Structure formats: C-alpha cells, structure tokens
Amino acid sequence: MPYPTDRKYTKEHEWITADGTMGITDHAQESLGDIVFVELPKVGTEVTKGKTLGTVESVKAVSDIYAPASGTVTGVNEDLATSPEKVNKDAHGAWMVKIKVKDPAEMNALLSAADYEKFVSEEATH
C-alpha cells in the first residue's frame, strides 16, 4: 500500500502532517489487528517527541502511541472513543490528535513516505 506523501512518518509507525494532525500508519493497524479501544490525551496536554501520548488496544495487544513532535494537543478525534475500528478501516484518514508543534524543525528528522515504506519492508525481512 502506498503511504501518503503529504506527511512524515516515525519508526514507531505514527504519521504527522505539516499542520500537526497525527495518527498511526496502515502498517501499524495491520500489525495490531482489530482495534477495540483508543486512549488519547486531552486537549491542552503537552506532548514530547518520542514520548507516549496514548495507547491503542487491539484484540492482540496494547501498544503505545508516541508523539512524532513536541507541542500542545489542540484537538482529539472523539469519534475513536466510540468507533475505534475506524483506524482499521482507514488508518491514514482516521487521525487521532492535532498537535500545535513547538519546533517545526523536529519534523525534518522524520521519514518521508518512501523512506518509511523502505523501513517497513526492511523490518519485515528481519
């Protein structure tokens, strides 16, 4: 599956757009299986790049969601509280939180769609 090129990706399988909208990748939701619960931070929460900002629970496991950039949570996708399966249906459309990014330069360290795709394929062969 081609990854959208309008966003950056982390090696922990999150994506973030230039405006700070973030979620988990299609690869992540596929690895997790059926998602049954999503726990997200409240609006106003300060998040730090690389630190846990929430969790995704599937029938297989509970996985942490990591902040792809530091900043303040300005929006939370409330739909996921009652319909977490939306992440399985469209991982790149079902955003989780919006972050007002403190330092846009942090985004430069993230992977492009092509680099992320390469990372995922290399990870699958190990």
For residue 78, which of 32, 22, 38, 36 has the smallest C-alpha distance? Answer: 38
For 15-71, how does the pLDDT look when each residue is reduced to its tens digit (9 = 90+)? 999 999 999 999 999 999 999 999 999 999 999 999 999 999 999 999 999 999 999
For 104-118, how does the pLDDT look when each residue is reduced to its tens digit (9 = 90+)? 999 999 999 999 999
The whole-number average pLDDT for the span 119-125 is 86
Write down all domains in the chain, each with its CATH number in brackets: 8-102 (2.40.50.100)
Q: What is the pTM of this model?
A: 0.94
Sheet containing 35-39: order of strands: 35-39, 52-58, 62-66
CB atoms within 10 A of CB 10: 23
The 8-class DSSP code of residue 84 comes to: T
User: E strand or H helix at 37, and its extent?
Assistant: strand 35-39
Look up residue 57 and give its two tokens. 């629970």
